[in-house]
Amino acid sequence: MARHMAWTGIAPAALFAAAQSGWRGRATGRFVLALVLAVALHTLWDSQSSLIGTAVVALVSLVALGWTVHRIARGTGPSGRRGRAAVR
């Protein structure tokens, strides 16, 4: 369950940031990378047959989500804005 939260948290954050930027510049590239990451993690999850492999994919997914949330909370996240005013 946590892995789906991670995948569906990372991709929409990048999607909204790209839309907010008017689909220009780095935000669009970040969206494409986030989408590729989400698809790759989901594919890796579905292809796992061992508990260790499953745990590794889950851990990587949660770390990626944590990193994304941390960047957003600091105001340097996908929206590209800085400072506390960026977080509402």
Contacts of 48 (CB under 8 A, 6+ apart): 54, 57
Would you state the pLDDT for residue 76?
Answer: 58
For 2, 24, 28, 71, the CA distances from 66, given in Å and listed in that order, are: 12, 25, 21, 9
Residue span of the structural domain in which 50 resides: 2-86
Residues 7 and 14: their CA atoms lie apart, in Å, by 11
For 17, 39, 82, the CA distances from 79, given in Å and listed in that order, are: 4, 22, 9
> Model pTM greater than 0.85?
no
State the alpha helices, DSSP H only, in 1-88. Answer: 2-20, 25-47, 51-73
- Count of domains for the chain: 1
pLDDT digits (tens, 9 = 90+) for 9-42: 888 888 887 888 888 888 888 889 889 988 998 8
Q: Average per-residue pLDDT in the chain?
A: 78
